[in-house]
Chains A and B, each alone.
Chain A
Amino acid sequence: MNRRTVLALTAGAALLLAGCTGTRGSAKGADAEAPDDPSKVSGTITVLTVRTDLVQDGTMKKYAAEFNRTYPKVKVEFQALTNYEAEIKIRMNTEDYGDVLLIPGVIEKDDYPKFFASLGTQEERGKKYRFTDFTTVDGKVYGQTPNGVMPGFVYNKRVWREAGITDWPTTPDEFLAGLKAIKAKTDAIPYYTNFAAQWPLTSWTFVNGSVGCDPGATTKLAEGDPWADGSDLRVGDTLLYDIVHEGLAEKDPTTSNWEESKPRTAKGEIATQWLGTWAIIQFQDAARKAGVNPDDIGFMPFPAQVDGTFCATVGPDYNQAVNVHSRHKEAARAWIDWFTDRSGYDRDNLAISPLKDAPMPEVLKPYEDEGVKLIELDDSAGGRVKLIDNESEVGINKPEYRQDLVDLARGARKGSLDDFLAGLGEKWTDTRKNVGD
């Protein structure tokens, strides 16, 4: 053997060895118990968050200082990730992913015990908190959201009033008529898709449950064709199609701009966007910065009624969880409990409290007046829906299919809406049959 052959073989062997290094073995099952004595618990914990804005403007530091009044020996450090889902996925291949983190969408529900420490049983936590079944595996809860969110239309009240509409539309047709009136009587863009930012389109999936007022809507996705006649997603997607098809959306969706859309909505240049309760405060801030009335920002449910009442789904925002590899699980648990129960984070963000006995936020007063029925979706089939979604590459929680839908509606893509939705349904149901559980 000459030298070059030996070299090549050695390098090859080294590569093979490297290639075999898969992922690490995993710890399995651990509990993050709440500390008995707040003054004794100590350690430095790292809290991961998506709220870059709150870390930068010092708001998170204020929360930490408040937290230290009860837990003086715990030092809290924050890491804000701008591209959370992508970054955390890579970090979670190691053991170093903070002490408290937000449960990313990529982790399969059954894998929760391998990554996170349990916060307690569902039986016990379910008495106090909403949304526990979203993070429950085998009766144990692995995450806790600091605030609930509800999808809906953020709209400019003044513009809608100028168009002569004061009552919320109760059917998709009435809604379309409303947008048409806005187009005819005002200068505003009736509806803004935020096509280029991508994720705002994804929130159209959250119409699921609101249309038919069915808490079992997620289970239906896992067991049937999501785009069957009269199904929630079909009603929602048809409305979006009609809005774009009839020219009620922005002229060039491909170059739309999310950051700009906030002040423009506040000023009345844009009338409506389908987002969620979490957006209200951002739009009000934008209104204040633009020097217009923040009270013009309104929020309305999906235009559909069952037995004469509107329906809206309430779900958790990102859930906070304790890293199973954390060395300060007690301190981490203390942070989650404090942040959920006592920080006031939900009120600061005009959000729905995760506590069962807390009142609704002020901005949702109109919902109470109108008697909107709030439901929580049963998420026991949530893991399966995610599995089917990824396997089939339909992507109900990804922007692509709605971008295709908008392209279809504005004629940049050939085909009919019926064929498009039927195609999605076929992909979905075929995969559903192949994915056994």
Chain B
Amino acid sequence: MPPAPTPAHLTEKAASAAVASAPRHAAPAPAPRRARTWRLVTPWLFLLAPLALLITFTYAPIANMVAYSFTDWDGVSPELHYTGVENYTEIFTREDLFQVFFVSGYYLVASAIQIVAALYFATILSFDVRLRNFFKGVLFFPSLVNGVAIAFVFLYFFQDGGTFDTVLGLFGYHTDHAWLGTPASANVSLAGVSVWRYLGMNFVLFLGAIQSIPGELYEASALDGANRWHQFRHIILPGIKPVLTLTVILSVSGSLSAFEIPYIMTGGATGTETFVIQTVKLAFQFNKTGLASAAAVVLLLIILLVTWVQRRLVPDERVDLV
């Protein structure tokens, strides 16, 4: 906890007390009761605003959602009935609700590619290369565009005779392939878009971590005859391990809850439905808000579980390079 700022009138008292007690070298007398109460209350007063916001806008809605997951609410009717764990039983007994997780596989593979690529570019651009700031900008740029715009841009990109076909045509490769036409092709295309979108974010995280590694280490290792690969393997990789673990966790949870890009581009058609799209459809198309809330809770638990397993497999050690 950061030290609590002391109100002005206390500071004066404390100062005079310090002057008075200094020659005696005795332990400072316990502060008067009122001062102690203040000291206890002050940090909470400061926390009041953020806590109120946090509880109102984060925890209360989640608690509400959990409560709805035990009801048959349709999202608008004034009447709702408590149904116990019926929604959860339904989720775990209907295999069609879980089949959509296969789609997450595409996004998982994509995140692996994304992390490797981001790491590669971050490493290269952390060394002295020409135009490095320009390339940093190029890589980070997609993160600045909002997801909806990206989805629309890529809808045109993948259109029949659209940008992608034109570009391929320039290289003499004329194709008649409908990029969003079959489940496999559509999912690969969508996962590709998501790599393009999130690569920059990972890249910046990695770059920041790499740049916080002291420069002397490279010099010292170079004197010892280490090449770039050795430097990467023995200095950079261990140096950025916490950030790497974090990125992997975020990518896995992101793949399980992929939503924005597939929802806008295909709406979940042609086998591109993810778990979150399915949840939204349950809630807003079929008016099963109770069931959808339960699905959302299940997804939350799955992600927590995956994170926990991951942390057990790769414990977060303190890194000390020097």
Binding site for B on A (CB under 8 A): 11, 14-16, 18-26, 85-86, 89, 92-93, 106-108, 111, 114, 195-196, 198, 251-252, 254-255, 257, 390-391, 393, 395, 398-400, 403-404, 407, 410, 412-413
CA–CA, A108 and B183, complex, Å = 35
24 A-B contacts, Cβ less than 8 Å apart?
Answer: A11-B59, A15-B60, A15-B62, A15-B63, A16-B63, A19-B66, A22-B67, A22-B80, A85-B284, A92-B76, A106-B74, A106-B75, A106-B76, A107-B76, A111-B77, A195-B269, A196-B266, A254-B181, A254-B269, A255-B178, A255-B179, A390-B287, A403-B267, A403-B269
Contact B55–A254 (Cβ < 8 Å): no
- B266–A254 CB distance below 8 A: yes
Q: Which of A18, A92, A108, A195 contacts B63 (CB 8 A)?
A: A18
B288 at the interface (CB under 8 A from A): yes
The residue on B at minimum CB distance from A198 is B267
Shortest Cβ gap from B136 to chain A (Å)? 33
Interface residues of B in 73-97 (CB under 8 A from A): 73-78, 80
Tell me the minimal C-beta distance from A384 to chain B in angstroms. 15
Tell yes or no: B281 within 8 A of A by CB.
yes
- Asked whether, in the complex, the Cβ of A412 is within 8 Å of the Cβ of B286, the reply is no
Is there contact, CB below 8 Å, between A252 and B63?
A: no
| Listed residue (B64, B78, B271, B288) with the most chain A CB atoms within 10 angstroms of its CB | B78
Q: Does A412 contact B284, Cβ atoms closer than 8 Å? A: no
The smallest C-beta distance from B39 to any residue of chain A, in angstroms, reads 14
Q: A390-B287, A395-B286, A403-B270 are in contact. Are A19 and B67 (CB under 8 A)?
A: yes
Residues in chain A near residue B80, CB distance under 8 A: 22-23
Please, how many angstroms separate the alpha-carbon atoms of A25 and B66 in the complex?
Answer: 21
How near does chain B come to A307, taking the closest CB pair, in angstroms? 38
Smallest CB separation, A187 vs chain B (Å): 15
With A403-B270, A412-B181, A412-B182: A108-B160 Cβ-Cβ less than 8 Å: no
A64 to chain B, nearest CB (A): 29
Q: Which of A11, A25, A106 contacts B287 (CB 8 A)?
A: A106
Interface membership of B195, Cβ < 8 A: no
How far apart are the CA atoms of A400 and B266 in the complex, in Å?
Answer: 11
On chain B, which size bracket covers the interface?
35 or more
Assembly CA distance A391 to B267 (angstroms): 21
- Of A15, A107, A251, A407, the residue contacting B59 (CB under 8 A) is A15
Question: What is the distance, in angstroms, from A198's C-beta to the closest C-beta of chain B?
Answer: 6
**A18 to B61 Cα, complex, angstroms:** 8
Query: Apart from A23-B80, A106-B76, A393-B282, what are 15 other A-B pairs with CB-CB below 8 Å?
Result: A15-B55, A15-B62, A23-B73, A89-B75, A196-B155, A196-B267, A198-B267, A198-B269, A251-B178, A254-B178, A254-B269, A390-B287, A400-B285, A403-B267, A407-B269
Question: Would you call the interface of chain A mostly helix, strand, loop, or mixed?
Answer: loop
Contact A393 B182 (CB under 8 A): no
Q: Which residues of B contact A390 (CB under 8 A)?
A: 74, 286-288
User: If A251-B178, A393-B286 touch, does A412 touch B76 (CB 8 Å cutoff)?
Assistant: no
| Residues in B whose Cβ lies below 8 Å from that of A92 | 76
Q: Is the CB of B60 within 8 A of A252?
A: no
Instruction: Find out whether the CB atom of A18 lies under 8 angstroms from the CB atom of B60.
Output: yes
B159 at the interface (CB under 8 A from A): yes
Contact B75 A254 (CB under 8 A): no
Q: Which of B62, B63, B271 has the most CB of A within 10 A?
A: B63
Q: Does B294 contact A (CB under 8 A)?
A: no
Q: What's the Cα separation between A231 and B211 when bound, in Å? A: 69
Neighbour of A255 across the interface among B63, B180, B268, B288, CB < 8 A: B180
Contact indicator A108/B74 (Cβ below 8 Å): yes
Is there an interface contact between A400 and B180, defined as CB atoms closer than 8 Å?
no
**Bound state CA distance, A89 and B284, in angstroms?**
9
- Contacts A255-B160, A398-B285, A403-B269 given: A11-B78 contact, CB under 8 Å? no
Closest partner residue, chain B, to A89 (CB atom): B76
Cα–Cα, bound, A95→B181 (Å): 44
Chain B residues with Cβ below 8 Å from A106 are: 74-76, 287
Best-surrounded residue of A21, A89, A252, A395 (most CB of chain B within 10 A): A252
**Residue of B with least CB distance to A411:** B182
Determine the chain A residues whose CB is within 8 A of the CB of B180 once the complex forms. Answer: 252, 254-255
- Verify B78–A407 contact, CB threshold 8 A: no
Q: Is the CB of A407 within 8 A of B66?
A: no
Known: A11-B55, A106-B74, A398-B285. A252 touches B267 (CB 8 A): no
